[in-house]
Chain A
Amino acid sequence: MSADRFRPAQARRRRAGQIFQVLCVTSIGFSIAVLAILLVDVARDGLRWVSWDFLTHFPSRIPERAGIKSAILGSLWMMALTAGISFPIGVGAAIYLEEYSPRNWFTRILQTNIANLAGVPSIVYGILGLAIFVRFFGFGRSVLAGAATLALLVLPVVIIAAQEALKAVPNSLREASYGVGATKWQTIRYQVLPVALPGILTGTILSLSRAIGETAPLIMIGALTFIAFSPTSPMDPFTVLPIQIFNWTAKPQAEFHELAAGAIVVLLIVLLVMNAGAILLRNKFQKRF
């Protein structure tokens, strides 16, 4: 009998719930539609240019001769070096912040600053990289200078992701480790890190996916637009896929716009492979508690 009092309201509450659900479905539908339009548009323009020749030829002013070999190699060099620099530093910093640092005002300031750095526009890192790596350290306009700059750019994200992964490790694990007499280092090395690793890797790879699409900071430090040779050492000049795409879209001829679309397709495939790798790594190492 008292349940009757809720009936009218119940219908209204159900309706509110349904409206919310529709809104959510619309949101996801909108995101997917935009992505689909982009993909279809790019694929329609660019797919016919994507071929083995396209991947193995250097850029050219003649569309039929043009390829993205130097851009792909540059991007791969860039990713390998950026990962090599940002991963150890980022994970080290995260371990310090989560496992060692005292909970005081200094740590809080550090933490806030790292979070803020994640939002700094990428061109600012380009200016920093130009001053520090290109000029002060004398790396020149090299792959190494570019990778160091991009490593700075992704470091805040890597640190935060690694911290989250470390936070997710249950404290009971650490306590049990200490309980059987393990030192702090042994606890981190043998208990905490293996459990946190999938999360750390996922965060790192996702942040590298951001780095592979960056153009502005690399143009700032002097990555080049026309390169018709493969970089063979970290000190070589380089170009990357987004710069090649930018260059082609700026040309007046329609063929180059299609070439740019082709290069976008390749870039998307590289991104997809990287993200799939992140998911695979996570699933392979994941332990549940």
Chain B
Amino acid sequence: MYTKNLIRALSVLTPLALLASGCGGGSDQDSEEAGLSGMVAIDGSSTVFPISEAMAEEFQIANPGVRVTVGISGTGGGFKKFCAGETDISDASRPIKPTEIELCAENGVEAIEIPVAWDGLTVVRNPANDWATCMTVDELARLWQPGSTIQRWNQIRSDWPDEEIVLYGPDTDSGTFDYFTDAIVGEEDASRDDYTASADDNVLVVGVEGDAGSIGYFGFAYYEESSDRLGAVAVDNGAGCVAPSRTTIENGTYAPLSRPMFIYVKPNALAKPQVRAFVEFYLNNATALVPEVGYVPFLDERYEELLGGLPAGM
């Protein structure tokens, strides 16, 4: 789905850049650029911020002459600044909207969309729970929607045991909460509130681990680290049960609990050596740094493809 957006954005915004995209653009020159200087101004989504922050930190260690700034105006706020020509790169947790493309076009700003990582969620259960190995989106929605009266497992499916359900989830400040409620319940921030909420994923892991009837959700990267202590609930979005894994997240079949995150860059910013070096650094180091801040990286080939797809210098 993101490739469609990529193509749309590219074809609408950068016909020229598409033509120029050979394989000469991105070679493997990640941190050797001594003597680079100037500014790289980034703003946008607070969800993408941790990745850009990590990239900015490492990039400046490798290139002390370059000043990278990262702000958190939100995806929409970031695009406003980006389209006004105030930033080089915009972080976005969703694809650019047509209205934003128009706004950019009015100011003569083009945007190249570069997906950088997956934001994935995992619904987890206690390993002793051998019945709820797969749930439909509708079942999850009935369980989590505001005012839900489901207290026992057999209220979800009658052949499940008559055992109490104990719910764990992130607190309402969390982006994970926004995203889960949006994807499952269908309305952002709409959730039942009689669950154990914590901003600390550790609390959620320990909670679900200690209670046979419990269920909870948090970021996929965190589940990966604790998969020996917890079981994942596969999600059925109408096309059969799909368990979360790097593969199913990467190929988009694990829906609706995974979404791509993007950076947008202007072709004329990409013409500046320090911005180009930063974007290449971003793609070259994503595999290492993305999991460190809690997100799922693409497969290596995807990053190489994206590197190769960068428009050549102008």
Contact = CB atoms under 8 A, between A and B. Distances in A.
A60 interface: yes
B293 interface: yes
Contact of A227 (B69, B86, B173, B200): B69
Contacts of A262: none
A141 B292 CA distance: 30
| A interface residue count range (under 10 / 10 to 19 / 20 to 34 / 35 or more) | 20 to 34
B73 interface: yes
Given A229-B67, A237-B41, A61 B72 contact: no
Nearest to B294: A252
A229 B49 contact: no
Interface string B39-79: 10101001001101110110010000001111111000000
A225 B57 contact: no
Contacts of B39: 237
B191 to A, nearest CB: 18
B71 A224 contact: yes
Contacts of A194: none
A219 B199 CA distance: 24
Contacts of A141: 41, 86
Interface in B131-174: 173-174
B81 interface: yes
Interface string B289-312: 000111000000000000000000
Contacts of B53: 61, 225-226
Contacts of B201: 252
B144 to A, nearest CB: 20
A222 B43 contact: yes
Contacts of A247: 72
B56 A226 contact: yes
B69 A140 contact: no
Contacts of A251: 50
A225 B70 contact: yes
A227 B41 CA distance: 10
B178 to A, nearest CB: 13
A252 B47 CA distance: 12
**Residue from B56, B71, B72, B173 with most neighbouring chain A CB atoms (10 Å):** B71
Contact of B70 (A226, A250, A252): A226
Given A224-B70, A224-B71, A226-B53, A254 B86 contact: no
Contacts of B43: 222, 224
**Residue from B52, B69, B292 with most neighbouring chain A CB atoms (10 Å):** B69
A250 B57 CA distance: 18
Interface string B80-97: 010010100000000000
A76 B239 CA distance: 58
Main secondary structure of the interface of B (DSSP, over half): mixed
B199 A222 contact: no
**Residue from A61, A135, A141 with most neighbouring chain B CB atoms (10 Å):** A61
Nearest to B174: A252
Contacts of B46: 250
A188 interface: no
Interface in A223-254: 223-229, 237, 247, 250-252, 254
A228 B57 contact: yes
B69 A224 contact: yes
Contacts of A135: 84
Contact of B57 (A61, A223, A252, A254): A61
Contact of B68 (A60, A219, A228, A250): A228
A216 to B, nearest CB: 13
Nearest to B70: A226
Nearest to A134: B86
Contacts of A228: 56-57, 60, 68
B50 A140 contact: no
B152 to A, nearest CB: 31
B60 to A, nearest CB: 5
A222 B86 contact: yes
Contact of A140 (B73, B86, B292): B86
A221 to B, nearest CB: 11
Interface string A200-225: 00000000000000000001001111
Contacts of A219: 73
**Residue from B54, B70, B200 with most neighbouring chain A CB atoms (10 Å):** B70
A59 B70 CA distance: 12
A230 to B, nearest CB: 10
Contacts of B54: 61
Interface string B246-288: 0000000000000000000000000000000000000000000
Contacts of A223: 71
Contacts of B49: 225-226
Interface in A19-63: 59-61
Given A225-B72, A237-B69, A247-B72, 4 more contacts: A59-B57, A224-B70, A226-B57, A229-B67
Interface of A: 59-61, 135, 140-141, 219, 222-229, 237, 247, 250-252, 254
26 contacts: A59-B57, A60-B57, A61-B57, A61-B293, A135-B84, A141-B86, A222-B43, A222-B71, A223-B71, A224-B43, A224-B69, A224-B70, A224-B71, A225-B53, A225-B70, A225-B71, A226-B53, A226-B69, A226-B70, A226-B71, A228-B60, A229-B67, A247-B72, A250-B46, A251-B50, A252-B201
